[in-house]
Amino acid sequence: MSDAPQFPVTDAVLEALAITRRGVDELLPEAEWTKKLARSAATGVPLRIKLGLDPTAPDIHVGHTVVLNKMRQLQDLGHQVIFLIGDFTSLIGDPSGRNATRPPLTAEQIKANAETYYAQAKLVLDPARTEIRYNSEWSEPLGAAGMIQLAARYTVARMLERDDFTKRFAAHTPISVHEFLYPLMQGYDSVALKSDLELGGTDQKFNLLMGRHLQQEYGQEPQCILTMPLLEGLDGVEKMSKSKNNYIGITEPANTMFAKVLSISDVQMWKWYELLSFKSMDEIARLKAEVAAGRNPKDAKVMLAKEITARFHSAAAAEGAEQDFNNRAKGGIPDEIPEVQLSGAPMGLAQVLKAAGLVPSTSEGLRMIEQGGVRRSGEVLSDKGLKLDAGEHVLQVGKRKFARVTLS
């Protein structure tokens, strides 16, 4: 962009830059993105901002919305966002972060998952201002000859610089040749869409840089890249994932969603505010200062839970979820409930539920935990791996089963 006309960096451009930076892990190269913003502000031509998601599962959880929120912020600045469904790249299988070859999905699985992806994503994005594309549009016509020509634009040595490939190569773990095609095809998406900025998680940095490299190879102005942190799940340790059962699905019931947000730690809450809330950073800083000065952190957590629940349901549903939570916490526990003495602390939650007679089996206990149907003193317990320490625990399964369990 060095030969391009220089446009003034106004206060509006600096404000757009600050919005872009919020919560990001990396914005590369920031100077180029500033120039792009200045050009867009001066000419009135919106920038093209791309996010590609492979429909590898049918549902989206709030961890996925970290990058969708950033897309919405940039969309609200007036830029053109492109929601790219990777129906072609899903056939290859993204090796990012993998330590073994990942089996590709079938075309039928991809189609079924893609049908629900955008329906859920538009709960965050403005559908009227979102361009929806499928990368099979340009990937399939590329053909074998085009694929060979594309592969000639990158070297094996550069490909092996990628962290997961490096580790697998050193460990003599098989790397299939088709896995090299994935970053090439994702990069070619940026060429086809002429994107100015591509977003992704921190695990996607190599693939995003590939798009920048290939755009230069094809004579285009290279895109900037923006990586967002991976959101830890309800356990506060592992990345949010369905396989870890530490997630909040964006189509979960309002009451479950609200209660799950309240279950995160006070420390973790502030990262969730930065990455998931639409409040300004000044508002969040004021709230954090109030908590530091003595305000109950639960007040802040309730505000976050209501905001997230309202986004995916409605303000009325969020109010109802708060009322339901309060009713259960205050008056939902009967005065007379069975008392159970158990030894063997710490003990897995599902095992405690079975031993206390609250569920017929540990598998049923795990199912109830997964569905958000287990509470301790009104608080939803959603971690299937949770172990209860010695002491008294007032447990509830469903609406009517209670027990006061004393573990020793």
**pLDDT at site 331:** 54
Alpha carbon 162 to chain centroid, angstroms: 23
Reported as a pLDDT band with limits 50, 70 and 90, residue 95 is low
Amino acid at 101: T
- Inform me whether the pLDDT recorded for 2 exceeds 60: no
Cβ atoms 405, 392 nearer than 8 A? yes
In whole angstroms, what is the distance from residue 79 CA to residue 72 CA?
Answer: 10
**pLDDT at site 174:** 87
In whole angstroms, what is the distance from residue 75 CA to residue 49 CA?
Answer: 9
**pLDDT at site 46:** 97
- Across 1-5, 162-166, 255-259, 330-334, the highest mean pLDDT is recorded for 255-259
**pLDDT at site 4:** 65
- Inform me whether the pLDDT recorded for 50 exceeds 70: yes
**pLDDT at site 296:** 94
Which burial class, exposed, middle or buried, applies to 42 when counting CB atoms under 10 A from its CB (0-12, 13-18, 19+)? middle
**pLDDT at site 121:** 86
- Across 87-96, 163-172, 274-283, the highest mean pLDDT is recorded for 274-283
3-class secondary structure, 173: coil
**pLDDT at site 245:** 79
Reported as a pLDDT band with limits 50, 70 and 90, residue 112 is confident
Please state which of the ranges 47-51, 141-145, 192-196 shows the lowest mean pLDDT. Answer: 141-145
Q: Alpha-carbon Rg of the chain, whole angstroms?
A: 24
In whole angstroms, what is the distance from residue 180 CA to residue 298 CA?
Answer: 48
In whole angstroms, what is the distance from residue 225 CA to residue 209 CA?
Answer: 7
For the chain, the average pLDDT equals 89
| Interval 189-215 mean pLDDT | 95
Reported as a pLDDT band with limits 50, 70 and 90, residue 70 is very high
**pLDDT at site 24:** 96
- Inform me whether the pLDDT recorded for 290 exceeds 70: yes
**pLDDT at site 56:** 73
- DSSP-assigned beta bridge partners for residue 198: 50, 225
**pLDDT at site 159:** 87
- Strand duo 26-28 + 339-342: pairing: unpaired
**pLDDT at site 398:** 83
- Inform me whether the pLDDT recorded for 101 exceeds 60: no
| Interval 152-161 mean pLDDT | 87
**pLDDT at site 318:** 94
Residue 242 marked as a ligand binder: yes
Cβ atoms 318, 385 nearer than 8 A? no
**pLDDT at site 1:** 56
pLDDT in tens, 350-404: 999 999 999 989 999 998 898 888 988 878 898 889 999 888 898 989 877 889 8
Residue 18, phi-psi category: left (phi > 0), alpha (psi -120 to 50), beta (remainder): alpha
Tokens of 259: 């209660």
In whole angstroms, what is the distance from residue 118 CA to residue 53 CA?
Answer: 10
Write down the residue that tokens 């610089």 correspond to: 161
pLDDT in tens, 314-335: 999 999 999 888 876 665 666 5
Tokens of 86: 């990777």
| Interval 22-41 mean pLDDT | 97
- Across 100-109, 281-290, 330-339, 387-396, the highest mean pLDDT is recorded for 281-290
| Interval 224-247 mean pLDDT | 88
List, in order of start, the domains of the chain with CATH numbers: 11-228 (3.40.50.620), 261-330 (no CATH), 339-407 (3.10.290.10)
